[in-house]
Structure 1
């Protein structure tokens, strides 16, 4: 006997949940939806604006989670809130796939190798590679840091340190960022931006 209750069915005494198949992300639809992102995050996802991150080459899952955090209000930003309120789950999947498909920005030529050496030492001391990988390109829902805008990395570390930024790995990042000195934050951001 089969009795259905919404998306559940009782089959032979066992509860079976009917799961709708997920559709693959549509990169072309993501590119179209990303037109509203260009003003801040730049053409092809490479930001030219201070304190605005580049999204090109950022990991699919990371982009999706950040959009979900913004949409849910766990992560707050006056410019992002009205935009993410318009996004449905399919839009978020498509945007994640689109930005992940783009070539990531290359870090500029390092103009201060001594500062980068201090940043590399700070990254090793805080075990940044344990989550962000040895090359700092991220993995799954963990951000790509290599080649990101330097002043944005400083801002993000300050936001984690002060508890302003939440969502996702906030607890881990707060634990890492809180003891960082201003000198370490500057050096770490410089090092990662120039990778």
Structure 2
């Protein structure tokens, strides 16, 4: 079944069934499944694993839907998403969105690299989707303060066509022409945003 058809079907089904208000407490309880990789309170301590704290509600929900539908593939995520239903997804989105985002307390160890990353972000118009603060919105990811190693991985995956899911077309178009030095600078800049 074509991926677009799957997404259209999912979106249609979600529109038919009335959404219930998300239950943050239930989301916190279900998030126990996530702690091993994404860390306590959604702050990852694991290499190449994103922090989920402070991510926009809809972004979390859509990523879980993409994993569950098989549009995004990840060995660790597949057994998790098989255990969650639509209500769990709504609750997890609300829970992670309610948490304070990661705070990078360390001083930037390479301000010149951050300057290059800021110039690249402006030139690539990253703020047009991710907002001027890079806090994300709706179904668009928060980038500010995310793990640098994860940002590197995500940008490389988009560039190489390995990652799909929301914003794939936009991100693939943005990431494909990036050279490695630009990817490194962008990741460093975004990870060091306060």
TM-score, normalised to structure 2's length? 0.90
Inter-partner Cα distance in structure 2 for 1:182 and 1:50: 19
Residue segments in structure 1 that go unaligned for 5+ positions in a row: 1-18
Residue segments in structure 2 that go unaligned for 5+ positions in a row: 1-15
**RMSD, aligned CA:** 0.8
Inter-partner Cα distance in structure 2 for 1:42 and 1:136: 22
Of Structure 1 and Structure 2, which has the larger fraction of its residues in strand? 1
Mapping 1:93-132, distance limit 5 Å: 93-107=90-104, 108-132=106-130
Mapping 1:63-82, distance limit 5 Å: 63-82=60-79
Inter-partner Cα distance in structure 1 for 2:90 and 2:29: 13
Inter-partner Cα distance in structure 2 for 1:168 and 1:34: 22
* Structure 2 partner of 1:60: 57
Q: Provide the aligned length of Structure 1 versus Structure 2.
A: 177
* Structure 2 partner of 1:8: none
Q: Secondary structure at the match of 1:31?
A: helix
1:22 is displaced (CA, Å) by: 2.3
Inter-partner Cα distance in structure 2 for 1:102 and 1:37: 14
**Residue 84 (structure 1) aligned with residue 85 (structure 2):** no
1:21 is displaced (CA, Å) by: 3.6
Mapping 1:99-178, distance limit 5 Å: 99-107=96-104, 108-178=106-176
Inter-partner Cα distance in structure 2 for 1:105 and 1:79: 22
Inter-partner Cα distance in structure 2 for 1:20 and 1:159: 34
Larger radius of gyration: 1
* Structure 2 partner of 1:16: none
- Residues 92-125 of structure 1: per-residue CA shift (max 9 Å, x gap): 0000000000010012321110000000001011
1:85 is displaced (CA, Å) by: 1.1
